[in-house]
Each structure stands twice: as structure tokens, then as C-alpha cells.
Structure 1
Amino acid sequence: MIQDIFPSKLNNEYKNQEVKDEDYVLVFDENGKLYVGEDSGKMLLTTKNDVKTDKVIYLFSIDDENYFLCNEYVEINKEGFSYYTIRELRDRYSGKDIMAIFTAYHLWKWYADNVYCGKCAGKLEIDNKERALRCSCGNVIYPRINPAVIVGVIKGDSILITRYNRGYAHNALVAGFTEIGETLEETVKREVMEETGIEIKNIRYYKSQPWGMAQDILVGFYCEADGDCEINMDKDELKYAEWVKREDVVLQPNDLSLTNEMMKMFKEGKI
């Protein structure tokens, strides 16, 4: 999965530190596209030497490499570099580079969406001790993380495979966001019922995954179908929902997602 970068390690503790010439300084445009290049199939990122601004924010480090965010829109023209969406980069690269840009995008989105205070409309300031934005009125804003579930619904030797109406086009599982006042297990039951009309039982936790592209923390569960297993698909949400035998499960084109790992575990008879 995207976070599986061992032996490398993401260190996401906030630090108030100066940027050095060799540190990565990531440049996003106003639409969230990242400025990157490529050399022999490897993704290249901009450094402080490439980005002529002092308005940068420390994001995190991976091993001994520091990543900063360019905190203003700058004109930059580097040969072989261009702006790409995170989804485009997801389909081209893997390893710690993808983990880095997903996490960076998550933080860029938070900073970009929180320029002014929601209480008094004052300008928010970056805290120098923790990952927070502060207003003179006393309001403090912390990074947004959206909890969501991924659900592998099993019926004997089959699993419930879905495809979304919009966005990602490959095979997926039932998924959805947790609502206010709801447990994760209640989210699992509700989302399966809403999307497919299936009653479930024996809900059990599998794994979790950060998914910065949507500012999510994904929580994976398996469960069994209960009673009538006839699918009543929500056509506004899905274009496909079917019971699929283990040997017929078609996996996603890369191994970055929790969804793909859960489908793979079932396909290989490990669940």
C-alpha cells in the first residue's frame, strides 16, 4: 500500500526549521497540480535552488530528506518539468515518492482552504510550535482528516465488487465517509445498505491507510452478507455492483490502495 515504504520512514512531526538549498520545496498550482519532472522513470521534485521564494512551510521528512511547501504561487520554468494532478502521478509512480506527494497534497489542501478565520474572518497565522493555524481572536485550526470505511462484503466464495459512477474507473469495494455521531461499524452497515441494499453481519477490522489525495484516513473491514443477497444498487453512486468469485476478481492496476489489497487478499484465499 501507499504507506508501505520500509525501510524508509515518514517523520511527520512539525518542526520550525529553516529550509536548505538541497531540501525539496514542492510547488502546487491553484488547482492542486504539482510541478514535477522525470528522469529514467524516476519522479523529480523541485528544491530550494529551483524555487525563488522564502515563503515556505516545513511539511515532513522521509529518512534524511526534508520536504517543504512553497506557500505562494510562483512563476517557475524548469526544463522537463510540468504540472500534474495527484491522480496522474498516482498512475505513474510508486514507493516513497508517491507517499511523499500524497501527504504533501493533503497538507497543501489544508493550508489552501484555511487562509481566513471562520469565526472573525481575520487572517490566519502559521503556528511556530505545532501543526496549526491561529487567529488573533483565539481560534485554532488543525489539519482536517476525514474518516472513511472500505468494506469487503463476502458471500461464500464471492465478494461484492463495485465501480463508481464518477472518478476512479477500476474495480473497487463498498466505501463511504463516517457521519457525525456514528461509529465505524455503523458506517460499514449504513454504506453497504445504501449502496447495494445488502444486510451484513460479522464485521471485523482489517487495516487502515492514510489517503492524502482526499484528505482521508481509510479503515478497512470485512463482513458477511446476511439473509437475502440480492443487490439493489444505488445508481446515483455506482455503475456496477456484482458478486464476483475469487478467481474472477480483477485487481486495480497498481498496489497503492487499501481497496486493492483487500481484494487481493480475498482473491488469493487469505480471507
Structure 2
Amino acid sequence: MIQDIAPHIFSNAYAPKRPEATSYALYFDGHMVLASKASATLRFPRFSELNGIEESVYEKAIYLFAIDNDCFYLVHQVPEGQPEFELKDIGLFRTSEPRHLAFAGITGYSLYKWYDNHQFCSHCGAKLVPHEKERMLHCLTCNNTEYPKIMPAVIIAVTNGNKILLSKYANREYTRYALLAGFTEIGESVEETVKREVMEEVGLHVKNLRYYKSQPWSFSDTLLMGFFAEVEGDDSITLDREELALAEWFERENIPVSESDISLTSEMIEYFRNHQE
């Protein structure tokens, strides 16, 4: 999965400090990220590689995290005319190598959106300021605090003996087969989310829920929790056509080959394909 970057080590401890010349500068503009023009692999600029940056860029840079001994910073302004770098769509993080920089890029993008969307206090409207000791924004006027947004959601592999239920989303750019998924609602356990989402999307009851593993999915600011669940009773599908374009049962040997290994969905499908229990 995209966060599996070993032997590289990711450290998200908040340690605000001035960037060094060798630190990475992550610059985003909407859905675009500043990355190398010509390199066959993903490469972000280091501060020393940016032409014409002023002292204020160093002073205003926001510490994000570290991978190994490399620190990554969010910068809000980069002079035009960077001959080695250009803005590229963040979709490149799904397929780019090296994996640890792709993970750094999408994690940085998630934090970029959070900082951009929380410039002012939602309670009184005053300017929010960064906290000195933790990744938090606080209001000096009313003491309101804001932490990075992480939304819990479930990925559900519904099985029926030798078969697994695969679906395709309705009205989305992603058109490959996927597992059922959904966000946890207020006052709801993740186990209740599993049962509700399966019933809402395909009209099935499930039993014997088994937790698999989790994944931080920064493309949607989500913490995904994967579950296997067995169908209970009738396996006839009643499709929610607002959410899904289709859903169908696949025998283990007929499961479509996944084109990606970055997601929890793909790993769970491959796990079912290769582990007959």
C-alpha cells in the first residue's frame, strides 16, 4: 500500500524548525504539485534548487514531517520561472516511484488542504495561528482549536464461500472494480458502518465480521478500516444506483487482475484471491 515505504522511516512528530537548504519544499496550487519536469521518477525541489526565493519563504515555511533524515515543508509561494520544475496533477502520486516520495506528496497535500481551509476561526472569525508544540491551529481571541481532519471509513470485502462481491462506483472518474466502502456516521461504531453500508448499497445482510487492517488514505483525508464479512441469507443484489454503477459476485479464480498495489481495496482483493479459508 502507498504508506508501506520500508526501509524508509516516516516520522510525523511535530517539530517546527527553520528549513535547511537540503530540506524538501512542497508547493501546491489546487490539485497541482511542483515536481521535476524531466526526471523519470518523482522528485520534489529542495530549497537550494528553487530560483529566486526570498528569506520570507524560509521564515513562513511550515514543517510537515520527516522521512529518514529528510524534512518536508509546506511553502505557500514560489517564484515563477523554475527551469527544472513544473506543476503536475497530484494524480501522479498513485503511480509514481519512488513510493516514499509519492507517500510524502499525498500526505503533504492533505495537510496543505487543511491549512488552506482553516485560516480563520470557525467560531469567531479571527485569524488562526499555529501552535508551538503540536500540529494544531488555535484562536487567540476565543481559544478555539483546530486539528487536522481525519475521517473514519470502512472498506468491506463481502464474501460468499468461494465468491467475493466487487462493485464499480457511479459517476466517478475511478472506473475499476472496488470493494464496498463508506464513511462512519456520528454515533456509529465501525462494525455498524459495515452492516449499514452493505445493506444500503447492495441490499445484503452480513455476519462474521473480521477486521483485516487499516490504511491512511490522504487522497480523501480518510482513515480506512478493512473488514471481511460473510453474506447472511439471500445473496441477491439490490443495487443503489446513485452510489454504484454495478455490483456482482466473482468466483475466486475469475477475479479481475488489479492494476495497482497502493490501496487497501487492492490488497484485500488479492488476499482473498490467494487465501482460501
Q: TM-score per shorter chain, which class? A: over 0.9
**Cross-structure match for 1:14:** 14
> SS at 1:44's partner residue?
coil
Structure 1 unmatched ranges of 5 or more: none
- The amino acid that maps onto 2:95 is D
Which residues in structure 2 correspond to 1:95-114 (within 5 Å)?
Answer: 95-114=99-118
Cα pair distance change 1:38/1:254, threshold 3 Å: farther
Structure 2: distance between partners of 1:244 and 1:38: 42
Cα pair distance change 1:38/1:157, threshold 3 Å: farther
Structure 2: distance between partners of 1:38 and 1:243: 43
Sequence identity (%): 41
- Are residues 1:2 and 2:7 paired? no
Cα pair distance change 1:40/1:34, threshold 3 Å: closer
Structure 2 unmatched ranges of 5 or more: none
TM-score (norm 1): 0.95
Aligned residues: 269
Structure 2: distance between partners of 1:91 and 1:84: 13
**Cross-structure match for 2:208:** 202
- Are residues 1:79 and 2:83 paired? yes
> SS at 1:219's partner residue?
strand
CA shift, 1:38, in A, is 5.1
The answer to whether the Cα contact below 8 Å between 2:42 and 2:98 also exists between their aligned partners in 1 is: no
**Cross-structure match for 2:71:** 66
Structure 2: distance between partners of 1:42 and 1:270: 37
Structure 2: distance between partners of 1:230 and 1:207: 28
Which residues in structure 2 correspond to 1:118-157 (within 5 Å)?
Answer: 118-136=122-140, 137-157=142-162
Cα pair distance change 1:191/1:164, threshold 3 Å: same
**Cross-structure match for 1:186:** 192
- Are residues 1:159 and 2:158 paired? no
Q: 1:230 aligns with which of 230, 233, 236?
A: 236
Return 249-258 or 194-203, whichever deviates more.
Answer: 249-258
TM-score (norm 2): 0.93
The answer to whether the Cα contact below 8 Å between 2:63 and 2:74 also exists between their aligned partners in 1 is: yes
Cα pair distance change 1:112/1:250, threshold 3 Å: same
